[in-house]
Amino acid sequence: MLNADNDVLEGAVVTVGGGDWDDVVDTARLGEERIVVNMGPQHPSTHGVLRLILEVEGETVTEARAGIGYLHTGIEKNMEVRSWTQGVTFCTRMDYLSPIFNETAYCLGIEKMLGITEQVPERASVLRVLTMELNRIGSHAVALATGGMELGSTTMMTDGFRERDKALEILEEITGLRMNHAFVRPGGVAQDIPPGALDSIREFLPSIRAGIRDLENLSAQNPTLKQRLVGTGYLNLAGCLALGITGPVLRSTGLPADLRKDEPYCGYETYDFDVVTRTEADNYSRLRIRLDEMYQSVDIVEQCMEKLQRLGHGPVMVDDPKVRWPSQLALGGDGLGNSLDHIRQIMGTSMEALIHHFKLVTEGFRVPAGQVYTAVESPRGELGAHLVSDGGTKPYRAHFRDPSFTNLQGVSVMCEGAQVADVVASVAALDPVMGGVDR
């Protein structure tokens, strides 16, 4: 504002010397005060170290970008100097909330290049499905727990991690480890399910169902959570398809896209389950989808148990000695290791078996030259493995399409034009795990 003497009383003075008025206003930004805010890099509320760069005007986000690269592990590069089997112990550590899915996508690719997909024993495939669905329950429980914590519900946090721990206890009994299992191996799995494990799972399942119901009661009709989630983070079907977003975020638009149904693997076509969808395409619908998917996973686990009982004891690794990793495991004084009977045989009765064991473990098997892409439906969407072989005992290239990396593209679309508080809810609804982003 100017007085009669053209002295500035308040505000800024803009001298207009021609040109388009819209350009003048945009340059001057009259009445605007925009600042850039860094949310992060920080760990607790983002499943890893994520940095969000927000341009805000008051409480409104005008621009949002995701900054990644703070958690690089070099896993893909390390896999190039390890044998194909050793690669399992690397890729399992990428998305550390769904390690079994990382292992399965990788091993399915190796088996496809070797041409042994149909030779994988049915019992091994059932064990893969069993562990994947237990892993899905645990992963979704963490998504709900951390998402609830970010929105102010500490009870969601404690109850969610309680349910995840139940799933981890079963996985530990089956694989020997709570995380980073290296259980799925090229040609099958590392070992059969131990005695008594099925009984443990049978005892756990009612408790897991009750725990999921607790999470649903805490969140589904919670007025505070609904205020924060209903209508926020909107991303429609066209946006998801344009950005390549998959998983619960895509299914919240009403599209029943699920690789377990669309491109079945590990015998998923023989299981009875529903692909959960909603049509609201907002943060609340993604929460409800994850809850319902946990119930579906419990149903699949029950079907796996029936299959294992029907199949009885049998092989869990392909019969080809040139590929079959030594899987005669037993629980000894030093923990889980090769059975003493197997060691006595190769050490005392068969020099050829000993040499073969040594070569297979130290050098590994050879994979025919070529490349392959295999994908599984992880808790966050399509997790794919692109493997390239030059005919040697190590991957020439191993690259993974991690859904967290792709889904993070939705941050700008979901957050721009919304309030700063909605950014937290939207990132939680995406459920990104930075271990899968920074490989």
Q: Retrieve residue 311's tokens.
A: 């199949």
Q: Is 67 helix (H, G, I), strand (E, B) or coil?
A: strand
Contact 38, 23 (CB under 8 A): no
| Alpha carbon distance 413, 8 (integer Å) | 40
The residue assigned the tokens 């927000």 is: 54
Q: 75-323+365-437 adopts what CATH topology?
A: Cytochrome-c3 Hydrogenase; chain B (1.10.645)
Question: Tens place of pLDDT for every residue, the chain, 439 residues?
Answer: 445 555 545 555 555 555 665 665 565 554 557 788 888 776 654 566 888 888 888 888 888 888 888 888 889 999 999 999 889 999 999 988 999 999 999 999 999 999 999 999 999 999 999 999 999 999 999 999 988 888 888 888 899 899 899 999 999 888 888 888 889 999 889 888 888 888 888 888 999 999 999 988 888 888 888 888 898 889 999 999 999 999 999 999 999 999 999 999 999 999 999 999 999 999 999 999 999 999 999 999 999 999 998 888 888 888 887 887 765 555 555 555 666 777 777 777 777 777 777 777 788 889 999 999 999 999 999 999 999 999 999 999 999 999 999 999 998 899 888 888 888 889 888 988 888 888 8
Q: Compute the chain's Rg from CA coordinates.
A: 26
| Alpha carbon distance 246, 241 (integer Å) | 8
Q: What's the pTM value of the predicted model, to 2 decimals? A: 0.85
Q: Residue 352: what residue type?
A: E
Q: Is 26 helix (H, G, I), strand (E, B) or coil?
A: helix
Rounded to the nearest angstrom, the gap between the alpha carbon of residue 333 and the centroid of all alpha carbons in its chain is 35
Contact 404, 416 (CB under 8 A): no
Contact 315, 282 (CB under 8 A): no
| Alpha carbon distance 437, 48 (integer Å) | 9
Q: Residue 291: what residue type?
A: L
DSSP per-residue letters across 339-367:
-HHHHHHHHHT-HHHHHHHHHHHHT----
Q: 267 exposed, middle or buried (CB, 10 Å; 0-12, 13-18, 19+)?
A: middle
The angle at the Cα of 308, spanning 307 to 311, to the nearest 5 degrees, equals 85
| Alpha carbon distance 215, 23 (integer Å) | 52
Q: Retrieve residue 389's tokens.
A: 């072989």
Phi and psi at residue 101, to the nearest 5°: -70, -40
Taking alpha carbons only, the member of 117, 122, 90, 102 closest to residue 184 is: 102
Element of type H or E holding 397: strand 397-401
Residue-level pLDDT at 173:
87
DSSP per-residue letters across 260-312:
HHHS--TTGGGS-------SS-SHHHHHHHHHHHHHHHHHHHHHHHHHHHHH-
Q: Residue 439: what residue type?
A: R
| Alpha carbon distance 243, 249 (integer Å) | 12
Contact 332, 353 (CB under 8 A): no
Q: Is 378 helix (H, G, I), strand (E, B) or coil?
A: strand
Q: Is 56 helix (H, G, I), strand (E, B) or coil?
A: strand
| Domain ranges across the chain | 75-323+365-437
| Alpha carbon distance 379, 139 (integer Å) | 7
